[in-house]
Structure formats: C-alpha cells, structure tokens
Amino acid sequence: MPASANPMVPSDLDAWLSANDRRIHEELFEFLRIPSVSARSEHNSDVAHAARWLHQKLAAIGFSVETIPTAGHPVVLGEWRKAPEGAPTILVYGHYDVQPPEPLELWASPAFEPTIRDGKLFARGSVDDKGQLWIHVKALEAHLATRGTLPVNVIVVAEGEEEIGSEHLGPFVDQHAKRLAADVVIISDSAMFAPGIPSILSSLRGLAYFEINVQGPSSDLHSGSYGGAVVNPAMALARILATFHDADGRVAIPGFYDAVRPFPNAVIDGMRTLPFDDAAFMHEVGVASLGAFRSKRARTGRRKVAQESGATLAHHVRRSELVEVVLAKIAWKNQVHQLIEQLGDATLRGQRRVFVVVDVAVVREHRVAAEASRFPSIRLEGGIGMNALTQV
C-alpha cells in the first residue's frame, strides 16, 4: 500500500478521511449550529433537535440507535456489536448539550455560526463537547467504510444534560446497567496536550460541592464601632475555606488522599518530556502566577527545590559578600525561610551556599542560568514545568 500522508494513521483510513474531509467539516458545522443549550427551557426544542440529529448520523454509519427519554433531556444510545466472539466492548461517552453563549459581546463571531480563524474553529460546543464527540463518530465511520467491521464492540452514549450536572444520567445508567456493560470507557470530553501530540488523558479533577451558611449579627453593624468585637461572617467564611488546602495547595481534609494511587515513574518521566511552557500557559489563561505544586523529587524527600505558590514578586537579586539569592513566585517572606530550613541550609544567615528558585519564564527573561554559572556552589536542575538551582 502507498505510504500514508499521515504516518500515525493507516493509509486506507487516511485516504478515506482526506477524501471526506469537506463533508466531515460540513456535518460538524451543522451540529454546531444547533443551539442545544440545556440550561435554558426556551432551548428545549433545540436540545431535542440535537439528539435527533446525532441519532440519525449514528444510524447512517451502521449503528443500532435508540434515543431514550429521561426525566430531563434524552440520552442517545448507539451500539455496534458485530465484533468476533470474545472481543472487548468499548463505551464512548460524550454529550451533545452546550453552555449558554453569553456574554455575546465577547464573541468575535456568532456563537452558533462556526467560523475558522487562524486555523482554529470557533463556535459554542466546538471543544465542549460536539467537536470531540464528532471525532469519535467519524473515526468509527472511517473504519466501517474502509474495512467493513470493527475489531471491538462499541457503545456510544451521548447525554443532553452534562452542562447542567447530568442529573438524570445516574438513573439512566442504573436502569440500563447490563446493556452498558463494557471493558473500557472512553470519555469523549477532554483535550489533546497540543496539536500534533496525541494524548491519552487518564484523569481529571472531580467536583464536590456543598453549601455553607455562616450566621452573623441580626443587622448591619458599623465596623468602626463593632469591628473586632463582632466577627464579620464574610471573614469567618474566608477562614473556613482557607483551611481546605495547605500552603502547598494540597487538600487538607483528613483521609482525602488515602485511596489515591500515585503515578508510575514511567508516567512522571513521560510528563517531563512534554513541551510545556509556563509563560505561554500563563499568557493563554491570563494569570500572573500558577498554583502551588512540588516536584516529585521534593515529595520523595530528595533535596531539590520545587516551585512555590503565591503571588509573583518582581525578579529580585540580593547581593552581598556572603549570599546571593534569586526569588520568584514566593508569596510570603516566611516561605523563603521555610524553604531554606527544609533544605538544611543557613543561606539567609550568612553562609555562602546559593539557592535560586525560579520558573521557566524567569529563567528566560532574566537569564538566571547565565547569572548562576558565575557561582561554583550552585547548579541548574530541571523539573516539571520549572527549573531550580539547588545546593551542590
């Protein structure tokens, strides 16, 4: 067979996808034009339209499809069960509902009119989750169209309430548990690490929420007369919330991590090879600093410096005859002392050892590595998303 234009895709599939590329995009645009906003009752007919549309597309590629009503929006259930005996079953989960488009004034093009700018597709639902779900549907179609079969059984579950908490998905799963039984579940609602870097995303942060009511005085009080003597409920609530995490950003609730499995070393090593850039990430999300974390080396007790949390200080170099210290992303002065104490050094008390705590952006912007090379007592170490200069 001729070599595939994309070496990561078998040539027959690559040829089919290339030949059908325009149609695949046009169909995705149709999907994205449906304003299936599950949170708004005025869009109930649009949500139902999206379910019918997806039902028809799955049926067209050879799936057995049923749209199953719930107490809310329906679930589209597609099945292909013609794999050889003993083949595993894969369940693909996604959702066809989307978030409301407001604030409309922040859109450069209409939210439900797909637009391509600079090679990127802009529309509500293009990345959450119609785009990802459509990729799976088209991948399945490509296999069936070129090879006539699949090596595994496949179940596609697409709900219409993900954006409002999936209230009725649990009862649906309980009711159809045997029908949904699978060896592997693929969540078609995540992202690649970067263009050109296929990714298997094995975990996401979950969600747990509850309501806390803090009772204060029976009426408004003047802070000049009552401040200090009467606790402000807002301040009390802030203190309560602050106890949920420690200074390193870890959840402080006892037992929270008891059942958490650590990443294998191979996974950690793989993460370190990813081309992550702190400065580019902060620019993308519009923040001046990142949250707290410690490198795996620090967690295992080795004497390495990890990036600390907190507000970003200006790049600061303090020079004297006895000490050189470069600090970045340190929230409070006592964190510096804690850092030095943890490493068993008395840098701030006059010894000549040098510790430099920086992130990638600081290294690049201020040429910290070149500055550090002047001192024989330090060396440059690499970590996940950061660099650190540690004691020799």
In a domain? residue 1: no
pLDDT above 90: percentage of residues in the chain? 48
Last residue of a domain, one of 187, 213, 241: 187
| CATH code, domain with 112 | 3.40.630.10
Is residue 29 within 8 Å of 151, Cβ to Cβ? no
Number of domains comprising the chain: 2
Is the predicted pLDDT of residue 120 greater than 60, yes or no? yes
Last residue of a domain, one of 187, 217, 244: 187
Q: Find residue 153's DSSP bridge partners.
A: 89
pLDDT tens digits, one per residue of 272-288: 888 888 888 888 888 88
Same domain, 61 and 166: yes
Residue 76, classed as helix, strand or coil, is strand
How many Å apart are CA 379 and CA 381, to the nearest integer? 7
Residue 371 within a domain: yes
Residue 345 lies in a domain: yes
* Residue-number span of the structural domain to which 361 is assigned: 271-391
| 8 Å CB contact between 32 and 126 | yes
**Inside any domain, residue 216:** no
Residue 200: predicted pLDDT: 79
Point out the residues that are catalytic: 97, 162
Task: Examine the fold and report which residue of 166, 187, 208 is the final residue of a domain before the chain moves on.
Answer: 187
The first and second tokens of residue 13, run together, are 């599939």
Categorize the per-residue pLDDT at 391 as very low, low, confident or very high, splitting at 50, 70 and 90: very low
Q: Are residues 86 and 179 in the same domain?
A: yes
**pTM to 2 decimals?**
0.67
Tell me: the pLDDT tens digits for 333-384?
Answer: 334 344 434 433 333 334 433 343 433 333 333 343 444 444 344 333 333 2
Backbone angles phi, psi at 134, to 5 degrees: -65, -35
Give the C-alpha distances (Å, rounded to integers) separating 72 from 58, 156, 172, 179, 191: 22, 19, 11, 21, 27
**Cis bond upstream, residue 103 (ω within 30):** yes
Q: Which DSSP category does 230 fall into?
A: B
Assess if residue 6 is contained within a domain: no
Name the 3-class secondary structure at 264. coil
Report CA torsion sign: 178, 179, 182, 187. negative
